[in-house]
Chains A and B, each alone.
Chain A
Amino acid sequence: MTPPTRRRLLQAAGLAGLGAAGLSACGSNASISDDPHELVLWYWNRSASPELLEEAATSIPGSDSHVRADVIGTTFDTKLRTSLAGGAYIPDITYINSNNALYFRNEDQFLDMAELGADEVKDDYYPWKWDLGTTPEGRFCFFPLDIGPTGFFYRQDVFEEAGLPTSPDEVSAAATTWEDWIALGTELLGATKARLVNTGRHVYDQFLNASPERYLDEDDAPLYLEDGSAVREAWTTAVAAIEAGITAGIPDARGPDQNAAWSNGSTAGHINAAWWAQILQESAPDTAGLWRLAEQPVRPGNSGGSFAAIPRTCKDPEAAMAFIRWINTPENQARAYEDVQLFPSCPASFDSLSYSGDFFGDQDPLAFFSKAAESVPSSFISTWESLVSGSFALELDNVESSGKDPDAAWDDAVAAAKKVLTKRGVLS
């Protein structure tokens, strides 16, 4: 046998290359896995309990399929949208973050889970969370995973030093309206130089998150133009807080500064969701026992919390639905809370959960937030909200950081919002 010539080798390599190209061309179908009993789930770190996913990897209870869970890293939405747009390598089940309204424009990409029997378990979940998963067309495409009921976190030691009310009940009673809450902050500032929150934007965001009305209605009509609209009220409240000097003016981009302010008590409070307790515990461990939770003025809101959806190309929608229902039973949501602190969207989950810890002294944050979750109002988040919310936040930052005139800032925010809505064809 003669040794192979260079030409032979090149030809062989070429054929191998062609073969590989041909093979990959054949693999271009909508599904990721060729196994008809393997459903691929896309999720991100800490959005599902690894323990439960491991069980589903063997089999989904009540079906002969199993789940292969793929962790998708950063830019989750871009990756999901790319596969949906390309019509290839689409997961059979996908998690979607609290920005699920972004997908309303393309809701036909997802199956209506009401047709798959999701309604049978509707009563197990907080109704406002269920509503957030319903599209403007009335299709139920986004199944509740976790939620983020909000409350007012405050440093009891700093409040005590300032001679303010200290127990959660007293603080809640002292600040049932935003005016009272700002007055409380002014008193705190006068007594200790400590600020109540880090930015006016936090006040603005959580005011809106607790409001039944937001930027646009279901017919894409802007609501913020009217006097007394929720956006305008939130803006006025935030500006009042800024002008009273009770905000520290440390924007979110300066995370280390924010954490330092909460640690050393120069900022003595924050309004945020249940999941923030975990973040606080990790970023300011030295303040354990000093924090307490009081009710948010007026009513609690919801910040964050994700959903599960079934893309229309799913190879076995019944099995996918079975998986989503199984991993979100009250018992399993309770397990997910114990495993990765996902705050349950089933009221019944709390029956089997108990809190042991002293970060909030003798206060039980689980009891606090599960009670708050009951009063979160139902609201509608428009698919266009993410286009306009940025201009209001940006202008509010301008008021806070560079002393821009609030009225001019409001006008600029409204003009910017109008411009971008017109550009995208929402307004004509």
Chain B
Amino acid sequence: MSATTPIAPSAAGARRTDAAVPRSHEKGWRALRAHWPQYLAISPFYVLFLVFGLFPILFSIVLSFTNWDGMGKIEFAGLAQYAYLIQDSRFWNAVGNTFIIWLLSTVPMLALALGIAFLLHQNIRLRGIYRVAFFLPNVTSMVAMAIVFGSVFSDSFGLVNSALTAIGADSIPWLSSSWGIKVTIAVMVIWRFTGYNAIIYLAGLQSIPTDLYDAAKMDGASTWQIFTRVTVPMLRPVILFTVITSTVGGLSLFTEPQVLLGNEGGVGEAGMTIVLYQYNQAFTQFDFGYGSAIAWALFVMASIFAIINWRLLSERDRTPRAARRSKGARS
């Protein structure tokens, strides 16, 4: 009984508005008035998003055209922040570092994840335990991780260098050379996200019909052939998805270098990433105008990557004939 009562008046209200055919915004207001408790009930999320999500995003656009130290007067500065950004070698160093670390981490990470997912998909014992084990790094505290990695890659007393010297190789200054720092950060990223991507690949693998494998086996394909000729092509959309998420993650890399090297990005700023530089400028140098400009520069770069990815995806989704037709239409 109580469940049906609220529906009746609202249905009647809808009929009335239909009959009157009012202008669309009036219709919206009526609907709002008729359903305000419902709107109110879903409002907390939107209110919080407005205050802590949308407002800071929009305010940072404004800030990027100003000089502000976070406390005093906000002074309009025009395009000065962006002009400085273009010729700021520290910023471009951060851009370079970000892309190098992204390449160093993403390529081996996705290859490893695919291999692990393929193995986890086999009929092996203790499968559940392996899946949990590979996912565990993703939920480990980053700060604890940084301490462990700091010790493992420690130049003079680290595990890695001890192992290297034990087999007669030279020790490598992991945390005080430009490439050492980048490789260490990349290894941290790989360690943390390989399991996560492997789980996504595993979900993709499980959606591949088993008759394809059976047919391949019937035709005498080896495990490697099945992997390269059946698994990988069928997984393409999933692979593209992980490439996109890894790109977003790679461009916004912050926690790993920050907890490992601090706010200055390590020796020679070799571990300074774009977001770490943004944080450094806004929250340690208290230059919020410039920090905002860096954020929007990052947004532009991320957009370019998003467009490239989107293009790649939409090309793949088209049937060959449709693709040919659209090519013909363009020429």
Chain A residues with Cβ below 8 Å from B2 are: 3-6
Within 8 A of A (CB), among B255-280: 260-262, 264, 266-269
Nearest Cβ on chain B to A269's Cβ, whole angstroms: 17
Q: Ordered nearest first, which 9 A-B pairs have the shortest CB separation?
A: A10-B37, A14-B40, A7-B6, A85-B71, A260-B157, A106-B71, A401-B267, A401-B176, A5-B2
In contact, B84 and A423 (Cβ under 8 angstroms): yes
Which residue of the partner chain, among B71, B178, B290, contacts A109 with CB atoms under 8 Å?
B71
Shortest beta-carbon distance from B235 to chain A in Å = 40
Q: B3: CB under 8 A from chain A?
A: yes
Say yes or no: A257 contacts B286, CB within 8 Å.
no
* A254 close to B175 (CB less than 8 A): yes
- From B126-134, B147-155, B192-200, B308-316, the one touching the partner chain is B147-155
In this assembly, does A22 line the interface, its C-beta being within 8 Å of a C-beta of chain B? no
- Cα separation A249 to B290 with both chains bound (whole Å): 33
Decide yes or no whether B70 CB sits under 8 A from chain A.
Answer: yes
Contact B261 A10 (CB under 8 A): no
Q: Is the contact region of chain A dominated by helix, strand, or loop, or is it mixed?
A: helix
CB distance from A15 to the nearest CB of B (A): 9
The size of the chain A interface, using a CB distance under 8 A, is 44
Contacts A5-B2, A6-B2: A398 and B268 contacting too (C-beta < 8 A)? yes
Q: Which residue of B lies closest to A75 (CB)?
A: B283
Which partner residue on chain A sits nearest B87 by CB separation?
A: A419
Residue ID in chain B nearest A21 by CB atoms:
B47
Q: Quick check: is B331 within 8 A (CB to CB) of the other chain? A: no
Q: Are B156 and A257 in contact (CB under 8 A)?
A: yes
Give me 15 A-to-B residue pairs in the complex whose CB atoms sit less than 8 angstroms apart, sorted by A's number. A7-B37, A78-B70, A81-B286, A105-B69, A106-B72, A250-B155, A250-B176, A253-B175, A257-B154, A261-B156, A387-B285, A402-B177, A423-B84, A423-B290, A425-B67
In the assembled complex, which residues on chain A have CB atoms less than 8 Å from the CB atom of B40?
10, 13-14, 17
* CB-CB nearest in chain B for A393: B264
Q: Across the interface, do A251 and B267 meet the contact criterion of CB distance under 8 Å?
A: yes
Q: Which residues of B contact A386 (CB under 8 A)?
A: 284-285
Does any Cβ of B come within 8 Å of A11's Cβ? Answer: yes
Whether A397 pairs with B268 at a CB distance below 8 angstroms is yes
Judged by a CB distance under 8 angstroms, whether B41 is at the interface is yes
Chain B residues near A81 (CB-CB < 8 A): 70-71, 286
In whole angstroms, how far apart are the Cα atoms of A255 and B156 in the complex? 12
Complex CA distance for A234 and B262, rounded to whole angstroms: 24
Chain B CB within 8 A of A73 CB: no
Q: Which A315-365 residues have C-beta < 8 A from chain B?
A: none
A14 and B36 contact, CB distance less than 8 A = yes
Q: How far is the CB of A127 from chain B (nearest CB, A)?
A: 29
Interface contact B71-A84, CB-CB below 8 Å: yes
Give 5 A-B pairs besides A256-B151, A257-B154 with Cβ atoms closer than 8 angstroms: A81-B71, A249-B176, A254-B154, A260-B156, A394-B268
Is A82 among interface residues, defined by CB-CB distance under 8 A?
Answer: yes
Contact B269 A394 (CB under 8 A): yes
When distances are taken between beta carbons in the complex, the residues of chain A under 8 Å from B222 are: none
Q: Which residues of chain B from 151 to 194 have a CB within 8 Å of any chain A CB?
A: 151, 154-157, 173, 175-178
Q: How far is the CB of A213 from chain B (nearest CB, A)?
A: 23
B51 CB, min distance to chain A CBs, angstroms: 11
**Nearest-neighbor residue (CB-CB) of A260 within chain B:** B157
Separation of A257 and B157 alpha carbons in the complex (Å): 7
Select from chain A the residue with minimum beta-carbon distance to B6: A7
- Interface flag for A102 (CB, 8 Å): yes
User: B150 touching A256 by the CB < 8 A rule?
Assistant: yes
Q: Which residues of B have CB within 8 Å of A109? A: 71
Question: Which residues from chain A contact B90 at a C-beta distance below 8 Å?
Answer: 416
Give CA–CA (A423, B290) in the complex, Å. 10
A82 touches B176 (CB 8 A): no
